[in-house]
Amino acid sequence: MCGIFGYVGTKNNASDLVLEGLRILEYRGYDSWGIAQLVDGVISVTKKAGRIPDGDISFKATTIALGHTRWATHGEVTDQNAHPHLDCTQKLAIIHNGIIENYDKIKVNLKKAGHKFLSETDTEVAIHLIEKNIKAGNPFREAVRSAFNEFAGLNAIIVMDAASKTFVAAKTGSPLVVGRGKGKENLIASDAPALINYTDTFHFVEDGELLEITQDSIRAFDQKTGQEKNLHWQKVDWKFASNDKGKYPHFMLKEIHEQPTIIETIVNQSIPSIEDLAETILKSYGTYLVACGTAAYAALAGTYLFSKIARRHVNYAVGSEFGYQLDFLKKGSLVIALSQSGETIDVIDAIKKAKEKGALVYALVNVLGSTLYRMADYKILLMAGAEKAVASTKAFTAKLAYLILLSYILSSQKEKGKRVLQKALSSTNRLLQNEISNIKQIAQKLVNKKHIYVIGRGLAYPIALEAALKIKEVSYIHAEGMASGELKHGPIALVEKGTPCIAFLPDDETHGANLAGAMEMSARGADIIGISFQPHEIFDYFIRVDDAREATIIPETVAAQLLAYYLAIEKGFDPDKPRNLAKSVVVK
């Protein structure tokens, strides 16, 4: 949600650089965009509802510019409501992530004092309050600090001052990262990968920190007291990061195809960190998995893997529900938070509460320096590389790979765990080599369907849920995943001739019962898309997924991702940017 990019330096095409940065951040999801640039001592703004257009935009020469991609919260998606917003003098510009919960009260007072508002946003209140503080004699940094201290809610702001060519940034929520460029230039962004072309040295801005950024320096201050603080610079290894699609038409397809390499990397490089996590689990008084959306389905799969392989009970909750289930957390409990972005607010809130209860927090997270990464007591990086498509693919299968290895390590069968993942690797490679044209054809047959049902049992149940979510997200076809045993408890009432039903039928103990579910659907006229190790007479369509024991869930997922992707393509949608969705869900 809401991409941020700011440049101050000596290059005189700052607005182009900011535009390029915003394009890299498009994956976060947005509904409008804008850039403020300083020209001849006055700030001018280009901002529009909708997507950033392809091709060049002509900007005047400037050495300082600030951009934002907005995901609307306060006020509709309009040009006026897009950020940046200016003060009455047009000498200050602001961009903002979050919600200023007490904006209305502040706005009433500012209006009385004669400030003119051009948008319906809470953000605009902030810039007029800062303007008022400057008029009252405060220097710029102090004006921002004292305004920000008045805001309720979780917020991140960056303010540009024309007079001093300075950015001041403050935050209590939402990620911000600053990078030192080469020579006299400094940058700020919502995500480190946007700065990949400029630097590998970052400071991840802490909540409660205020930053002052000029072309010569970056300084940090305590937001509450104004005292100067030290910055913590970190080097980031960009080995797995890439901002382009390579030979693929979409990031989603590229990321689907990256999965074999990621699994191989996990098998070869992650064992020591997983062993460490296993030891912590063995010492804890109870383990809780917490995550949202796709990551929550990985966590749900974890409960089956722990039970089946490690013979251990593990609790599971989606982030937004965790707060209602944590009364029995105590010192010594372990919470494992799974998240691609490490910014999902419901997960962050959950671990804050867990920490208050004295629980230890382990993060399985993809983004280095993210809020979850920084808050967790211990962390494992997923090593899936930057995920750009809004719909999560490779981070999901990476989580599955970690959970499979973890379960095997917990049952003292590390080598077997590695072999099982090797099998998943072969099965996924075969699928990617041999099944794509088949999956495209199936997508063509399903393209006009209004509803798709997806069934699975045991380990394939969370995969059925994930398959349905992927289809919904990118093709906008209503898809419902369920445990196949639940069919006759209600959903089968919806089945009629031609209703598509995707059935996951791995070669495990669920096979017979699951097949029975598919047969019940078929008997009522459903078209069965069997995702299985072998064909069956009841299948109308068949996607072969070779067996990889418990890790069959990885190639099964990849088959579903490909089907979702080609459904989106058949329907003419952009699978990388599904409507209404943002990559990081940082507001409630």
The set of catalytic residues is 2, 583
Fill in the amino acid letter for 381.
L
| Residue number with CB closer to ligand F6R (181 or 342) | 342
Q: Which residues of 264-293 are buried (b: 16+ CB within 10 A; e: fewer)?
A: ebbbeebeebbeebbebbeebebbbbbbbb
Residues 471-500 that bind ligand F6R (CB under 6 A): 473
Coil, strand or helix at 542: strand
Q: How far is the CB of 43 from ligand F6R (least distance, A)?
A: 34
Q: Tell me whether strands 92-98 and 155-161 are parallel, antiparallel or unpaired.
A: antiparallel
Residue count at the site for ligand F6R (CB under 6 A)?
15
On whether the CB atoms of residues 526 and 501 are closer than 8 A, the answer is yes
Note whether 292 binds ligand F6R by CB under 6 A: yes
Contact 131, 124 (CB under 8 A): no
Distance, CA of 414 to CA of 412 (rounded, Å): 6
Of 78-86, 90-98, 202-210, 293-301: span binding ligand F6R (CB under 6 A) = 293-301
Piece of the chain touching ligand F6R by CB under 6 A; list 21-29, 86-94, 341-349, 420-428: 341-349
Alpha helices in 3-119 (DSSP H): 14-24, 103-112
> With respect to ligand F6R, which residue has the nearer C-beta, 203 or 470?
470
Closest contact distance (angstroms) between CB of 395 and ligand F6R is: 6
Question: Dihedrals φ, ψ of 52, to 5°?
Answer: -65, 125
Lay out the site mask for ligand F6R across 390-429 (x = CB under 6 A, - = otherwise). -xx-------------------------------------
Task: Confirm or reject binding of residue 341 to ligand F6R (CB under 6 A).
Answer: yes
CB of 469 vs ligand F6R, minimal distance in Å: 6
Tokens of 581: 């969705």
Binder among 2, 267, 290, 295 for ligand F6R (CB under 6 A): 295
From residue 137 to residue 176, what is the string marking binding to ligand F6R with x (rule CB under 6 A)?
----------------------------------------
- Residue 293 as a binder of ligand F6R (CB under 6 A): the answer is yes
Complex with ligand F6R: residue 131 or 258, whichever CB lies closer: 258
Using DSSP, state whether 307 is helix, strand or coil.
helix
d(CA 465, CA 291): 14
Q: Could you give the C-alpha distances from 434 to 426, 445, 526, 545, 559, in angstroms and in order? A: 12, 19, 26, 10, 11
Query: Smaller CB distance to ligand F6R: residue 129 or 386?
Result: 386
Q: Any contact of residue 463 with ligand F6R (CB under 6 A)?
A: no
Distance CA 575, CA 474 (A): 5
The site string for ligand F6R over 353-392 (x = CB under 6 A, - otherwise) reads: --------------------------------------xx
- Euclidean distance between CA atoms 77 and 73, whole angstroms: 9
**Which CB, 175 or 555, lies closer to ligand F6R?**
175
CA 504 – CA 563 distance, rounded (Å)? 13
Please identify, using beta-carbon distances, which residue of 298 and 424 lies nearer to ligand F6R. 298
Within 13 Å, how many C-alpha atoms sit on residue 10's CB side?
6
Among 17, 300, 347, 543, binds ligand F6R (CB under 6 A): 347
Q: Where are the beta strands (DSSP E) in 9-146?
A: 32-39, 42-49, 64-70, 85-86, 92-98
- Alpha helices (runs of H) in 382-485, residue ranges in sequence order: 394-410, 414-434, 436-446, 460-475
The nearer residue to ligand F6R, 178 or 347, going by C-beta atoms, is 347
Q: Does 339 bind ligand F6R (CB under 6 A)?
A: yes
Of 68-76, 182-190, 287-295, 480-488, the window that binds ligand F6R (rule: CB under 6 A) is: 287-295
Q: Which stretch binds ligand F6R (CB under 6 A): 47-55, 280-288, 291-299, 436-444?
A: 291-299
**Interface residue list for ligand F6R (CB under 6 A):** 292-295, 339-341, 344, 347, 391-392, 469, 473, 584-585
